[in-house]
Amino acid sequence: MGTLRAGDLVFTLSRSVRKSVGLTIRKDGSVHVRAPFWLPVQEVIRMVSGKSSWVRSKQQTMKNQQVIPAPGPELNRIKKQALLKFRMIASPWEEHFRVRYGVAPKKWTVREMNTRWGSCSTATGRITLNLRLYYKPDACIEYIVVHELCHLIHPNHGKDFYTLLERELPDWKTSRKQLKA
Ligand SMILES: [Zn+2]
């Protein structure tokens, strides 16, 4: 198995008895190509070159989808760091909402969620932030923090909710877009 280049795309190539060329992008973003013995190396490079923009976009997506480690010391370390980071961003906002609107969450929780970035229970006063936010830009974390704080006043996504959100964080749409990227 050797390392080859197709333009500025680096990949490893392994040969085997097979009929077609297979291309795999690993979790770390590295590219591995499998090709039949009989296919000239120049032809392999040409085929990989043809896929380079697809490979690039895949690599970018993978970079954005940081993998949360399995339960263990590393996950605990990240949870601790995430909590510190979220607290640092949320504290001034919590104070602001307390002073301006007289509301405050009873508890902040951090946990891994798959479908939501955050949630707010007006019944319990608990705001939960998705651990995955840890890998996102601060502005995105701030947006979720403010979004959930606004729910303490307006539980649903009604007009009043968005009026409040817009007033507190006029640039929230940019952050939301970034979260979806
Ligand atoms: Zn919401």
How many Å lie between the centroid of ligand 1 and the Cα of residue 158? 10
* Residue 100 per-residue DSSP state: H
pLDDT computed for residue 114 by the predictor: 84
Are 127 and 117 a contacting pair, CB within 8 Å? no
Chain segment 127-158, per-residue pLDDT in tens? 999 999 998 989 999 999 999 999 999 999 99
pLDDT in tens, 22-81: 999 987 788 999 999 999 999 999 999 999 999 988 887 776 666 788 889 989 999 999
Q: How far is the CA of 157 from the centre of ligand 1 (A)?
A: 6
Indicate the pTM of the whole model. Answer: 0.67
Decide: helix, strand or coil at residue 88.
helix
What pLDDT was estimated at residue 1?
A: 62
The three state secondary structure string of 29-43 is: CCEEEEEECCCCHHH
CA neighbours within 13 Å on the CB side: how many for 181? 14
Task: Report whether CATH 3.40.190.10 matches the domain 73-180.
Answer: no
Q: How many CB atoms are closer than 10 A to CB 128? A: 19
What residues does each domain of the chain span?
2-64, 73-180
| Distance from residue 122's CA to the centre of ligand 1 (Å) | 12
